[in-house]
Amino acid sequence: MNVFEFLPTLFKDLFLNEQVDIRVIYKKKENILAVSKKAVIFKNQKSYIYLIDKNNLVKEKEVFIGMDNGEKIEIFGMDIGEGMEIIGNPDDKIGNNVIVERRNIKDEEIEKRKKLERLERENEKLGNRMDENEREIIRLKRK
């Protein structure tokens, strides 16, 4: 039996009976390729990822898996290398030779921020109108 000691000074912000997740790292590997577990497809007792080539064509690629930490999983195989683009969360529609449209995450984040700012401005205008209406109602009551 292994015994682990947790120092109470590390957990000063916890409350009594609060649930916590604790990860115990028992082995660490460096210089590996790791992807989200969602990116790896398991079928017919083999593991696959979907690569995207420069023409936006999807290629199914068999990979071998190594260690995983619950979120990421180590992969290796023939012609697998750093910098290759993969589909991070493939669905049933994805397969070999499917053409996909690339998404620019940074542009999407900028668009989301702009939309949020616009909605916040609209919300502020509506709030101001509500304040004006409330003042008008109060004026009507006082007379």
pLDDT tens per residue across span 71-93: 899 999 888 888 899 998 888 88
Q: Which long-range contacts (CB under 8 A, 24 or more apart) does 18-24 make?
A: 23/69, 23/70
pLDDT at 16 (0 to 100) = 79
Would you say residue 2 has pLDDT above 60?
A: yes
Chain centroid to CA 141: how far? 53
| Average pLDDT score over residue span 138-142 | 65
Q: Please count the residues of the chain.
A: 143
The mean pLDDT of the chain is 85
Q: CA torsion 54→57→58→63, rounded to 10°? A: -40
pLDDT at 18 (0 to 100) = 82
pLDDT at 134 (0 to 100) = 79
Q: What is the pTM of this model?
A: 0.57
pLDDT at 70 (0 to 100) = 83
Task: Between 48 and 133, name the one with better pLDDT.
Answer: 48
Q: Percent of the chain, pLDDT > 70?
A: 94
> 87 to each of 66, 73, 79, 107, 110, how far by Cα in Å?
19, 14, 17, 18, 22
pLDDT digits (tens, 9 = 90+) for 24-47: 777 778 888 999 999 999 999 999
Most confident of 80-84, 101-105, 109-113: 109-113
